Chain A
Amino acid sequence: MTNGVAVELNDLTRVYGSVKALDGLTLHIEPGELVALLGPSGCGKTTALRILAGLDEATSGTVSVGGRDVSNVPANKRDMGMVFQAYSLFPHLSVLDNVAFGLKMRGKAKSDRTSGAADMLDLVGLSAHKHKYASELSGGQQQRVALARALAIQPRVLLLDEPLSALDAKVRSQLRDEIRRVQLEVGTTTLFVTHDQEEALAVADRVGVMSQGRLEQLAAPADLYANPATPFVAEFVGLNNKVPAAVSSGRAQLLGTSVPTLQGSITSGSGVAMVRPESVTMSPDPAGTSTVSSVAFLGPISRVYCSLADGSVISAQMASTQARRFAPGDPVTVGVEPTGVLVVPE
């Protein structure tokens, strides 16, 4: 089901004093699509979302929703539902009244408001809590009510501003999946802002990685993960091992292995290959020139950190059952799986 409309951010720039928070951001979101903006703090992702919501003004550029320029439309007339990073339920209203608030602003009759709000609470599984107040709910429950409240007005666009960042890990992953389920069910065009790579890759149809106010790459999660376009994107999606490499004829030589290079790599000469930890292989070898420096246990997987002969450190990610073979000080041989790597100039 698709209830969404197309959203266009055209050449948006936002300048605060001497700081350029957005630098010519252009983004098109298809009707019903969920796009995640991913990036570190200060990259401009929240600024973009706030400009789309009408809570901030662009220095230049336009915002179109459903083909109509809404750049000068105030926030309360934009028909967008928003879930905030901070808990934003109105403390003086019950859960039901919170969810019905937007309907009240639209002049709906009380019976319609109550039934509409109750339907949304059903959708997020909180009907049993409708008479409680925000102070009686956990953080995860509050954010689910906020989601219900944002959806109750049947918004043209749903905006999610790091809605999971204040929650603990378990609740975060549960609510993340729930947001995606609900979004697919209602089909609202959605912009999801996060700094968590896993979160963005898990929920989005497309992920846009932002840096310094610019969109570095916009692609489907699998494509973004497999083919990062820039060193920044590569590092942000987990290619955080930097290994010296020599490139020729579309292949890179590194750690004694020849692997194909990704688009955007240098075409020849020496550079630095960006390798994700799960592509690094490691085997115990009494004659190996590398040494295990530490092992980090992460539950089902572990990360083994290893010092190479040149003194640089590389990390390998593997199943914890395999990682048991390694202990700090063990000599090992390090290699790379023959997947593509991005090689950038030194």
Chain B
Amino acid sequence: MKRIGLGGKVFRAVLWVAFGLFFMFPLYAMADFSTRNLIAGGRTMQAWKNLVADEALYQAIVISLLLAVFTVVAMLLVLVPTMIWVRLRTPWAKGMVEFLCLLPLTIPALVVVVGLRNVYLWVTYFFGESALTLTFVYVVLVLPFAYRAIDAALSSIDLQTLAEAARSLGAGWPTTILRVVVPNIWSGILSAAFISIAVVLGEYTIASLSGFQTLQVQIVAIGKSDGPTSVAASLAVLLFGFVLLLILSLVTRGRRRVAADPAVPTPAPSGVSA
């Protein structure tokens, strides 16, 4: 492996610092503003306390977190078996499924809301007017990102051979999917889940136009009267997203290392030295 010289190390350190400052400065500014006492001066944690003390904001946080969980669960239940089935049994349908999954990227949120109005008459008829009904829209919204993540994971394994090996050993389809395929595309599933959570926690347009009070809608509303609390909530969401991405990075890096490390020294076998 090529060694990096002193000049290279300095250049790398400068880049790290420059990019670190570029990305950290807005976060620092948000942290600074959210802890500033705008009336009496000095520092206060009141804005951060408001995240749980303000009932409306607290409810919005709970709803957004529930939406994220429901969206991830529904997305995985729909997408993972479908994609596995399409690859194994109906590969001719792969293009169509991909097109359908990527379609939401091309449709503006405003159009989605208008288009879904009639559908939501039925949704609210059956499920009531809870903000959690946004789950249905959000599942569609996260499809492009989740599809890409799971598709990449499925492409990295020999799905057909693994599934056939499991079947020949006596596993039914549910067992094959849950015990053989899913553990081997775990990094893709995690990526899809985390990206979906980030999308749901960042979504404003559809929730606002539909009149639901999610976290993002509340942040905008609070921002009009209580800037520090609004910024504290935004920063909390950002940090939550960073933590998710960090976990994703650590998990997938660990798995990549295992997968890409066939050169682990092994003692010669007792029989054939293969």
A, B from the same assembly: yes
Q: Which residues of A approach B to under 8 Å, CB–CB?
A: 53-55, 74-82, 84, 86-92, 101-102, 105-106, 124-129, 132-133, 135-141, 143-144, 146, 149-150, 153, 159, 167, 171, 174-175, 178
Give the distance in Å from the alpha carbon of A144 to the alpha carbon of B186 in the complex: 27
Within the complex, what minimum Cβ distance (angstroms) separates B35 from chain A?
A: 45
B168's partner among A76, A133, A138, A178 (CB-CB below 8 A) is: A76
A128's partner among B168, B183, B261, B269 (CB-CB below 8 A) is: B269
Q: Is the CB of A175 within 8 A of B274?
A: yes
Q: Mark B136-167, 1 if CB is under 8 A from A, else 0.
A: 00000000000000000000011001101111
Q: Is the CB of A105 within 8 A of B269?
A: no
Q: Is the CB of A133 within 8 A of B258?
A: yes
Within the complex, what minimum Cβ distance (angstroms) separates A86 from chain B?
A: 5
Give the distance in Å from the alpha carbon of A58 to the alpha carbon of B166 in the complex: 21
11 additional A-B residue pairs with CB within 8 Å, beyond A86-B158, A90-B162: A76-B168, A84-B161, A88-B164, A90-B165, A91-B259, A105-B169, A105-B170, A135-B258, A139-B274, A174-B274, A175-B272
Give the distance in Å from the alpha carbon of A102 to the alpha carbon of B184 in the complex: 18
Q: Is the CB of A171 within 8 A of B272?
A: yes
Q: Is the CB of A135 within 8 A of B267?
A: no
B164's partner among A55, A106, A126, A144 (CB-CB below 8 A) is: A55
Q: Is the CB of A101 within 8 A of B169?
A: yes
List the 5 closest pairs (A to B, CB-CB), nearest first: A140-B274, A125-B271, A105-B170, A102-B169, A88-B165
B270 at the interface (CB under 8 A from A): yes
Q: Is the CB of A86 within 8 A of B271?
A: no
Within the complex, what minimum Cβ distance (angstroms) separates B260 from chain A?
A: 8
Give the distance in Å from the alpha carbon of A127 to the alpha carbon of B267 in the complex: 12
When C-beta atoms are compared, the residue in chain A nearest to B265 turns out to be A136
Within the complex, what minimum Cβ distance (angstroms) separates B170 from chain A?
A: 4
Q: Is the CB of B266 within 8 A of A124?
A: no
Within the complex, what minimum Cβ distance (angstroms) separates A14 from chain B?
A: 17
Within the complex, what minimum Cβ distance (angstroms) separates A242 from chain B?
A: 39
Give the distance in Å from the alpha carbon of A80 to the alpha carbon of B261 in the complex: 32
Within the complex, what minimum Cβ distance (angstroms) separates A191 from chain B?
A: 13
- Report chain B residues within 8 Å CB of A105: 169-171, 175
Give the distance in Å from the alpha carbon of A140 to the alpha carbon of B166 in the complex: 20
Give the distance in Å from the alpha carbon of A137 to the alpha carbon of B265 in the complex: 9
- Report chain A residues within 8 Å CB of B180: 90
Q: Is the CB of A135 within 8 A of B271?
A: no
When C-beta atoms are compared, the residue in chain A nearest to B180 turns out to be A90
Give the distance in Å from the alpha carbon of A26 to the alpha carbon of B117 in the complex: 62
Q: Is the CB of B262 within 8 A of A132?
A: no
- Report chain A residues within 8 Å CB of B186: 92
Q: Is the CB of B165 within 8 A of A82?
A: yes
B4 at the interface (CB under 8 A from A): no
Q: Is the CB of B266 within 8 A of A91?
A: no
Most buried by A among B169, B183, B262, B269: B169
B254 at the interface (CB under 8 A from A): no
Within the complex, what minimum Cβ distance (angstroms) separates A320 from chain B?
A: 27
Q: Is the CB of A92 within 8 A of B262?
A: no
B264 at the interface (CB under 8 A from A): yes
Ordered by A's residue number, 11 sampled pairs between the chains whose C-beta atoms are within 8 Å are A55-B168, A75-B164, A75-B168, A78-B168, A90-B183, A102-B170, A128-B270, A136-B266, A139-B274, A144-B274, A175-B274
When C-beta atoms are compared, the residue in chain B nearest to A53 turns out to be B168
B172 at the interface (CB under 8 A from A): yes
- Report chain B residues within 8 Å CB of A178: 271-272
Within the complex, what minimum Cβ distance (angstroms) separates A157 from chain B?
A: 11
- Report chain B residues within 8 Å CB of A92: 183-184, 186
Whether A138 contacts B274 in the complex (CB less than 8 A), given A82-B165, A129-B266, A133-B258, comes out as: yes
Q: Is the CB of B262 within 8 A of A135?
A: yes
Give the distance in Å from the alpha carbon of A74 to the alpha carbon of B157 in the complex: 24
- Report chain B residues within 8 Å CB of A86: 158, 161
Most buried by A among B168, B171, B183, B184: B168
Q: Is the CB of B271 within 8 A of A124?
A: yes
Give the distance in Å from the alpha carbon of A126 to the alpha carbon of B266 in the complex: 12
- Report chain B residues within 8 Å CB of A127: 270
Within the complex, what minimum Cβ distance (angstroms) separates A250 from chain B?
A: 48
